[in-house]
A and B are shown apart, each in its own frame.
Chain A
Amino acid sequence: MMRIAFSILAASLVLASTVPVAGHHAFGAEFDPNAPIKLQGKVVKLEWVNPHAWIHIEVIKDGKPEVWMVEGGTPNTLLRRGLTRDSLTLGTELVVDGYQTKDHSLKRANGRDVTFTDGRKMFMGSSGTGAPKDGRDSTEGGTKKPGGR
């Protein structure tokens, strides 16, 4: 789905812009498809920053602890669902699959799929759909006042 949508956008933007497209950055620019990885470890640090949140997990490799940085998305979308940095407690064990950065020495990977050890997705929030409340869903109460302040 995304591929075609993006390539429509991409095609027109390639014609338009001076640089190879991917309005944001394509993950393909940062991560190496030839370096898949599976990680399991405890959260030791959360960088709740833009443009990408980074989850630091400590894995045990050959009996020794090693900290890996896992790239996530923008925390702003999670904040709007009531999820904060504190929603993921330090020490929580996570299972990550993804690909390493092209620079393999960095011990960083994209959080292609980040779950708890029971397989549940890491950040789901109460509604689960991520759809912002907008008053059009009759199952959600209250009318919305513009302003958000």
Chain B
Amino acid sequence: MSHGVVTLWITGLVAAAAGVALAVTAMPVSGQAPRAAIPRTADGKPNLNGIWQALNTANWDIEAHTARPALAMRPGPVVPVPAKEVLAFGAVGAVPSGLGVVVGGEIPYLPEARKKKDENQANWLTRDPEIKCYQPGLPRATYLPFPFQIFQSQSAMFVAYEYAGAVRNIYLKDPGPPETDSWMGQSVGRWERDTFVVEASGFNDQTWFDRAGNHHTEAMKVTERYTLTSPDHIQYEATITDAKTFSRPWTISMPLYRHVNANAQLGQFKCVPFVEELMYGHLRKTPLP
């Protein structure tokens, strides 16, 4: 079936592009890296400390997509053209292509949820929480076009994201079910041999997976797997389960690359002041024209 062929092709290309030898659907990555190759902490665990970043276009759209003029479009005389609000960006506002990071190619939406995704995409400018500098949630925080830093000690695993100062304390001891909904969820992590597995839940329904309108409800659970495949690469997988939105769990997979420059430092992107004109400009004493 052509769809299946295309899917396999995309999957294969993603794997090849990532430099990972194995098809991501088939084999678990844990245990593949030779023990001697990866840095370890004093207690023998793979050492995930460092500054990491994804190098793909997942934040634009986690499914495969071709390049197009803009995220917000309107009908044009011949073909759709960028919406007025984004026209001035020109090529800077254009969407780059991507082969997608979804294992199997397509997100298995329930029919109503697929409609909502399409509506989200059509209303991107008013609905994407990234525009308002809202906390990105998971797994989007991982593949935003900004680095993040992992702090790993014997008693803690903490992630600080450059984007909007988002943070995540991955508890090594389960504190019990989340007591409230949050943007970044509640994460509990454990080692399974050389893979760090995180179970995250307690999300609100406000975050998206990307700029294409892919969404979820507060029922979502995310299971992440972090595996050092070399001193400077983590293979990252995240499985999303949300029976209110998807017909089955589905997984994304991508490599994360270490910032290897000697003076690598996490920057700051505290974007709340950047969006005040957007969100509150109309409430100024003298709004701008």
CB-defined A-B contacts under 8 Å, sample of 7? A84-B179, A84-B180, A149-B156, A149-B169, A149-B171, A149-B172, A149-B173
Number of A-B contacts (CB under 8 A): 15
Query: Which of B173, B175, B179, B181 has the most C-beta atoms of chain A within 10 angstroms of its own C-beta?
Result: B179
B126 is an interface residue with CB less than 8 A from chain A: no
DSSP majority for the B interface? loop
B155 is an interface residue with CB less than 8 A from chain A: yes
Q: Given A48-B181, A147-B155, output 6 extra A-B contacts at Cβ < 8 Å.
A: A48-B180, A75-B180, A79-B179, A84-B180, A149-B156, A149-B171
Please, which residues of chain A bring their CB within 8 A of the CB of B171? 149
B180 touches A85 (CB 8 A): yes
Quick one: which of B174-223 are within 8 Å of A by CB? 175, 179-181
A147 to B180, CA, bound (A): 20
B180 touches A79 (CB 8 A): yes
Please, which residues of chain A bring their CB within 8 A of the CB of B155? 147
* Closest chain A residue, CB of each to CB of B188: A149
A75 to B178, CA, bound (A): 14
One of B175, B180, B181 near A149 (C-beta < 8 A) = B175
Chain A residues within CB distance 8 Å of chain B: 48, 75, 79, 84-85, 147, 149
Please, which residues of chain B bring their CB within 8 A of the CB of A79? 179-180
For the complex formed, measure the closest distance between the CB of A1 and the CB atoms of chain B, giving whole angstroms.
31
A75 to B172, CA, bound (A): 24
* Closest chain B residue, CB of each to CB of A50: B182
A84 to B181, CA, bound (A): 10
Chain B residues within CB distance 8 Å of chain A: 155-156, 169, 171-173, 175, 179-181
For the complex formed, measure the closest distance between the CB of A28 and the CB atoms of chain B, giving whole angstroms.
18
A113 to B129, CA, bound (A): 34
A147 to B171, CA, bound (A): 10
A84 to B175, CA, bound (A): 15
Please, which residues of chain A bring their CB within 8 A of the CB of B181? 48
A84 to B179, CA, bound (A): 6
A85 to B181, CA, bound (A): 9
Query: Which of A75, A147, A149 has the most C-beta atoms of chain B within 10 angstroms of its own C-beta?
Result: A149
A48 to B204, CA, bound (A): 11
* Closest chain A residue, CB of each to CB of B156: A149
* Closest chain B residue, CB of each to CB of A75: B180
A110 to B279, CA, bound (A): 23
A149 to B157, CA, bound (A): 11
A85 to B180, CA, bound (A): 7
For the complex formed, measure the closest distance between the CB of B213 and the CB atoms of chain A, giving whole angstroms.
23
A84 to B178, CA, bound (A): 10
A79 to B156, CA, bound (A): 22
For the complex formed, measure the closest distance between the CB of A19 and the CB atoms of chain B, giving whole angstroms.
13
Please, which residues of chain A bring their CB within 8 A of the CB of B175? 149
For the complex formed, measure the closest distance between the CB of B171 and the CB atoms of chain A, giving whole angstroms.
5
Please, which residues of chain B bring their CB within 8 A of the CB of A75? 180
For the complex formed, measure the closest distance between the CB of A142 and the CB atoms of chain B, giving whole angstroms.
16
Please, which residues of chain A bring their CB within 8 A of the CB of B180? 48, 75, 79, 84-85
For the complex formed, measure the closest distance between the CB of A23 and the CB atoms of chain B, giving whole angstroms.
17
* Closest chain A residue, CB of each to CB of B155: A147
* Closest chain A residue, CB of each to CB of B283: A103
A149 to B187, CA, bound (A): 11
For the complex formed, measure the closest distance between the CB of B251 and the CB atoms of chain A, giving whole angstroms.
27
For the complex formed, measure the closest distance between the CB of B186 and the CB atoms of chain A, giving whole angstroms.
11
For the complex formed, measure the closest distance between the CB of B273 and the CB atoms of chain A, giving whole angstroms.
13
A147 to B172, CA, bound (A): 11
Please, which residues of chain B bring their CB within 8 A of the CB of A147? 155
* Closest chain B residue, CB of each to CB of A80: B179
Please, which residues of chain B bring their CB within 8 A of the CB of A85? 180
For the complex formed, measure the closest distance between the CB of B263 and the CB atoms of chain A, giving whole angstroms.
32
For the complex formed, measure the closest distance between the CB of B183 and the CB atoms of chain A, giving whole angstroms.
10
A147 to B158, CA, bound (A): 13
A48 to B179, CA, bound (A): 11
For the complex formed, measure the closest distance between the CB of A13 and the CB atoms of chain B, giving whole angstroms.
20
